[in-house]
Structure 1
Amino acid sequence: MARKTRKKYKSKIVYLPYVIIACIVIFKVFNFQFLTGKNIINNFLTKEQGEAEIGDEIPITIPEGASTKDIAEILYKNDLIDSAVMFRISSKIGEYDGKYRQGNYLIVKGTEDEEIMKILQSGVVYTNAVKVTVPEGYTAKQIAETLEEAGVVTATEFLDEMDKGTFDYEFLADIPVRDNYLEGYLFPATYEFEQGKSPHDIIIKFLDRFQIEYNNILKGKDTKYTIDQIVTIASMVESEIQVDDERAIAAGVIYNRLKVNMPLQIDSTVQYALSTRNEIVAASDLEVDSPYNTYKYKGLPLGPISNPGEAALEAAANPDDNKYIYYVLKERGSGEHIFAETYDEFLKAKETYKNSFN
């Protein structure tokens, strides 16, 4: 009996190392799953959801000394990969781990993870990228000049391509034949341009950005006005109004004038026709013979007179329901207006604030 007892004790000792190893393995697996899950949760909570669309170029910077984990987080926060954890695992399996190089990169949203790994390993950075900010209300000519000053493209090449190039977008379908064909559709924003890109590719960036606003604001709008007419109204609102709260009100004024077949008499349209931007429009300026002169011709001008931003597009698409027909600038430099329903109210407001313009 004693020998049997010793035998059982001995067998337990023999298997003890295997039990310990199994426990260690289970612990490591559990720990990995816990940390992985924790990372996924953290990633989910910290991910910065951007507004980029599939096909957009996203600029990222890989700093010196960044680990694969750091790089995965950068990619995830810029919405370029679905999972930072899976990117790290794939980097290890694909033998990219530790081989990524620092620098500035342009990654197209929608690029497969493995292709991103190849790009970051190559070290081919976009050192020649130029950041350009286009303000709301700029004309196509002003945009062209801004791009030329930044060294992106010459103004002449840009404007020539704008009028002669072929661009396949739903929102361009109803545009009538005219010069400055894309005026109004070069959406104002901050862009990253690679030097050496063709004028066509540069214009595509503007139109792709307008596409987002079209989808969000204009597409499927139930109105008797065409997209081009709404954009034209938005461009006048952008050029005339500086105060955000007044945009929808001013859009309502324009629609009200159109309803009663009254000349729009928008100073900015005359300035566009003359290619000037003087603060005061002279009486002689009102005689310019141009389809953009809304003092001389009733109805909308031939097309947009500037490139409106989101707020102006929103105002033109969803104008304030009011009965105002007139508006008067309160004080020089204030940007604020008094809105009036009758001509008498208009004259009184004009008299009240005339001294600020002397």
Structure 2
Amino acid sequence: MSELDMDFLLGAEDDEGRGRRSRGSGRRGSRRRRRRRNRGGFIAPLLAVIILVGVLGGGGYFGYQWISGALVPADFTGQGQGEVIIEIKDGQIASDVALELERQGVVASARAFTNALDSAGKSNKLQPGQYTMRKRMSAAHAVAMLEGNNRLVESVTLKEGLRLSDTLTKLAEETGKPLKEFQTAAKNTRQLDLPGYARNRLEGYAFPSTYEVQPKTTPADILSSMVERFHETAEKVELEDGAKKLGYTAGEMVIIASIIQAEAGRQEDMPKIARVIYNRLNRQPAMKLEMDSTVMYALGKYGTAATHEELKTPSKYNTYMWPGLPPGPIANPGEHALEAALNPARGPWLYFVATDPNSNVTKFATTEAERQALLAEYRKNGG
């Protein structure tokens, strides 16, 4: 039993036996009562001090300072020093960011940062991304450095019609990340969320567009973003429904779009090139596609005019040798090529020739005689 509890009991006895005790005992009881009152008067301010110390020493989200007679959140002064990269992730709210800034020593307290955000009217305006910050910054400076134009990001633009091998090389050059890492990520197709009709091959589905790449973005992240963009575009153009109406699978439609993309010099020619492909595929008796672009893909070369020797390759991509479509896409088609595959122009054409290599003009023919005339024009223009 504590001394305080003992005094309490003794005090109770004093009250009960006050009449039986001597005057001396009464004086001792009086001293004890004064001692109890003194102790009671000391406990309240002591508890207040303990609570205050706990608040001041606890740090974290509840870190405060006593300034000018008031409790305010702990805050650094100045623009800070050193460097640290802070990442704001999708779905994070201001308090999440504030706690991360405090954890990494950017701001003195999370509360100071959220207060500064509120004062600046930016509580709901933090953009996901990575930012270069400094250690021990004032909350106001930290808010200023989280502006969207201060994000660590670089843009990589991938044009339509690039083969996957060229796409990976371009990504490595633009981001400074090792080509081998992109090649490894491209082979690990299970993590890329490819559609089932892609048959676990990324070629044709690394959608060409402009992508933002941040320092911590991995090659797998980048390729996943490209596949995600393909999904969005496929849904936009209604790829699966459109393919079904034409009597093809979505995967076959991507193959057709990739050939259109590789063969077309101009966007306006794409629907006509699509019609030539369908007319050859549906012709009776069967007619081979005979597309030079597929042969060049098989050989790992570039060009739209294969030589007689190159046409001898036994590859399944040699559409001069094998009927029907090649086994997979030969490039990554863009939205216009996909739309052309889904919406071919009306016409009887069976041939097309890029008659002027300098202007990318393509002309179309229905008969072999017309085709020969176009080839003569092509040779006349230096082709």
**TM bucket by the smaller chain?**
0.5 to 0.7
State the Cα deviation string for residues 179-230 of structure 1 (Å, max 9, x = none).
xx11111111111011232222111110111112111111422232111111
Letter of the structure 1 residue corresponding to residue 241 of structure 2: G
- 8 Å contact 1:141–1:155 — kept in the other structure? no
> How far did 1:95 drift?
6.0
Match of 1:98 in 2: 120
- 8 Å contact 1:99–1:121 — kept in the other structure? no
Letter of the structure 1 residue corresponding to residue 340 of structure 2: A
State the Cα deviation string for residues 281-322 of structure 1 (Å, max 9, x = none).
221111112121111211111111111111111001111122
Match of 1:148 in 2: 172
Greater RCO (CA < 8 Å, at least 6 residues apart): 1
Match of 1:33 in 2: none
Structure 2 CA distance for partners of 1:279 and 1:224, relative to 1, 3 Å:
closer
Match of 2:203 in 1: 183
- 2:291 aligned with 1:272: no
Distance in 1, Cα, partners of 2:171 & 2:192: 23
Letter of the structure 1 residue corresponding to residue 274 of structure 2: A
Match of 1:129 in 2: 153
Distance in 2, Cα, partners of 1:232 & 1:199: 25
Distance in 2, Cα, partners of 1:185 & 1:250: 21
Structure 2 CA distance for partners of 1:339 and 1:127, relative to 1, 3 Å:
same
> How far did 1:174 drift?
2.1
- 2:188 aligned with 1:164: yes
Q: Secondary structure of the residue that 1:328 maps to in structure 2? A: strand
Using structure 2 for the length normalisation, give the TM-score.
Answer: 0.60
- 2:300 aligned with 1:255: no
Q: Secondary structure of the residue that 1:299 maps to in structure 2? A: coil
- 2:218 aligned with 1:198: yes
Match of 2:327 in 1: 302
Distance in 2, Cα, partners of 1:325 & 1:148: 40
Match of 1:233 in 2: 256
- 8 Å contact 2:168–2:183 — kept in the other structure? yes
Q: What's the Cα RMSD here?
A: 3.1
Q: Secondary structure of the residue that 2:306 maps to in structure 1? A: coil
> How far did 1:130 drift?
2.0
- 2:358 aligned with 1:333: yes
- 8 Å contact 1:271–1:278 — kept in the other structure? yes
Q: Secondary structure of the residue that 1:161 maps to in structure 2? A: helix
Q: Which has the higher Rg, Structure 1 or Structure 2?
A: 2
Distance in 2, Cα, partners of 1:168 & 1:146: 19
**Which structure 1 segments of 5+ residues have no match?**
1-54, 57-90, 109-117
- 2:364 aligned with 1:344: no
Distance in 2, Cα, partners of 1:92 & 1:129: 25
> How far did 1:153 drift?
3.1
Distance in 1, Cα, partners of 2:117 & 2:347: 66
Letter of the structure 2 residue corresponding to residue 186 of structure 1: A
Distance in 2, Cα, partners of 1:239 & 1:329: 12
- 8 Å contact 1:144–1:154 — kept in the other structure? no
Aligned length in residues: 255
**Which structure 2 segments of 5+ residues have no match?**
1-89, 92-112, 131-139
Match of 1:213 in 2: 233
Distance in 1, Cα, partners of 2:205 & 2:177: 18
- Structure 1 range deviating more: 249-258 or 293-302: 293-302
Structure 2 CA distance for partners of 1:228 and 1:93, relative to 1, 3 Å:
same
